[in-house]
Structure formats: C-alpha cells, structure tokens
C-alpha cells in the first residue's frame, strides 16, 4: 500500500485557484479540503482504491511532528498544498 500525505489548510484555497499558479484562467475556487475530498473520491472510484491510502494534514490544526520536510517547505514559502509519501 502506498501512503500519500497531502499538507494544506483545509478551509483555504490554494494560491492559484486551481493550483496552476493562475496560468489557466480558472475562476472556480475550491478549498484545499474540497480538493482533497475530490481526490479521495477519484481514488475510491478507481482500481487504485485498495493500493493507495490518502491522508490530509492541516498545517494549522494537526500535529506536524514527524513531517519535518513539509513543515520546512511551508515555512520557506512553498505553495500549498504539498504532497508527500
């Protein structure tokens, strides 16, 4: 099984409305939590459901112990959401 950790702020939209940095001219703004739920649904409906475990880690709500790389990247200004495994 593959573990995929998604780091973000559940109630906020990413820097670009669709995480492309604004280059696609998308106007739909979903929060990082909503985008994560869409990702979960995609995996549940695919043949990968039994092979991938997803977890959303809210940078303001959850304990970041053990996630040093993600914490450092966030502090250094990397755009959210971040994905690790």
pLDDT, averaged across the chain: 87
**Structural domain boundaries, residue 67:** 2-84
Please name which of 28, 29, 26, 24 lies closest in space to residue 13, comparing C-alpha atoms: 29
Q: Token pair 């995609």 is at which residue?
A: 42
Domain count, the chain: 1
Structure confidence at residue 84 (pLDDT):
86
pTM for this prediction? 0.79
pLDDT of 52 over the 60 cut: yes
The mean per-residue pLDDT over the stretch 44-65 comes to: 93
Phi–psi pair at 35, nearest 5 degrees: -65, -40
Express each pLDDT in 7-43 by its tens digit: 999 999 998 645 555 556 565 689 999 999 999 999 9
Q: Which of 4-8, 27-31, 66-70 has the lowest mean pLDDT?
A: 27-31
């Amino acid at each position: 099984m593959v573990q995929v950790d998604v780091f973000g702020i559940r109630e906020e939209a990413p820097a670009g409305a669709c995480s492309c940095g604004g280059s696609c001219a998308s106007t739909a703004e979903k929060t990082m939590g909503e985008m994560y739920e869409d990702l979960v649904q995609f995996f549940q409906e695919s043949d990968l459901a039994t092979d991938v475990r997803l977890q959303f880690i809210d940078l303001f709500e959850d304990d970041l112990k053990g996630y040093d790389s993600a914490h450092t990247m966030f502090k250094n200004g990397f755009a959210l959401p971040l994905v690790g495994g």
